[in-house]
Structure 1
């Protein structure tokens, strides 16, 4: 049987910024350098071909990370862009989903002076079709 697609969508609603450079956004809570864990459920241990779609605002520098279950994704997780962007990045071999509860965090590059915000994040994966 062919695999089926599945996903989990989370509203992060956070700005990541140093104290001296916070953004004036009424919809985003200040998270400092790292968001809280956002949990999502995966119904199988056989998830594959995962990727993340992230809605980000005013990212100024490379180097910020998306962590899945504590592991950073590979590549440029959130590239710079003025204003809003929607960016997609694949898991590659860097992270793995597990059956049950998984979590996602966004981490600002600590040495950066960058201030940006994250709206909605969607984690996508494929799984074997149920018999």
Structure 2
């Protein structure tokens, strides 16, 4: 097996309209990011995980969805300022050959406002998957 990954710059904030962060680099998208598409060259992707660059997360309960399926557990923990958080797929989600997508959603039961910078999706694949 070999490692592979896809990196996406999200550059948005998730916030209720009444509590937007004052960030000139992050447009408020409300409760969910636009789908971030990335390509996977194999149906045999395993051991997936996501690395998320997040700013000023105040609450638990926000979700990361891969191909519409939420990852298990808490996906982005609270932290003041910047953090880089890594979470594994577990059995909750899987990747497929071709285009996949990632969406981050805000827990609407809170008034939390936070921003997402860069997200990287990692996986292992057979060495001949790009041939």
Gaps of 5+ in 2: none
Once residues 31 and 91 of structure 1 are traced to their aligned partners in structure 2, the CA distance between those partners, rounded to angstroms, is 25
TM normalised by structure 1 equals 0.97
Among 28, 32, 54, the alignment partner of 1:30 is 28
CA-based RMSD of the aligned residues comes to 0.8
Deviations 1:57-76 (A, max 9, x none): 00000000000000000111
Q: 1:103 maps to what in 2?
A: 101
Superposition deviation, residue 11 in structure 1: 0.3
Superposition deviation, residue 34 in structure 1: 0.3
Tell whether 2:68 aligns with 1:70: yes
**Partner SS, residue 29 of structure 2:** strand
Number of aligned residues: 129
**Partner SS, residue 18 of structure 2:** helix
Q: 1:112 maps to what in 2?
A: 110
Once residues 97 and 112 of structure 1 are traced to their aligned partners in structure 2, the CA distance between those partners, rounded to angstroms, is 30
Once residues 31 and 104 of structure 1 are traced to their aligned partners in structure 2, the CA distance between those partners, rounded to angstroms, is 15
Q: 2:41 maps to what in 1?
A: 43
Gaps of 5+ in 1: none
Within 5 Å, which residues of 2 pair with 1:58-97? 58-97=56-95
Once residues 13 and 106 of structure 1 are traced to their aligned partners in structure 2, the CA distance between those partners, rounded to angstroms, is 12
Among 117, 120, 123, the alignment partner of 1:125 is 123
TM normalised by structure 2 equals 0.97
Once residues 23 and 37 of structure 1 are traced to their aligned partners in structure 2, the CA distance between those partners, rounded to angstroms, is 21
**Partner SS, residue 32 of structure 1:** coil
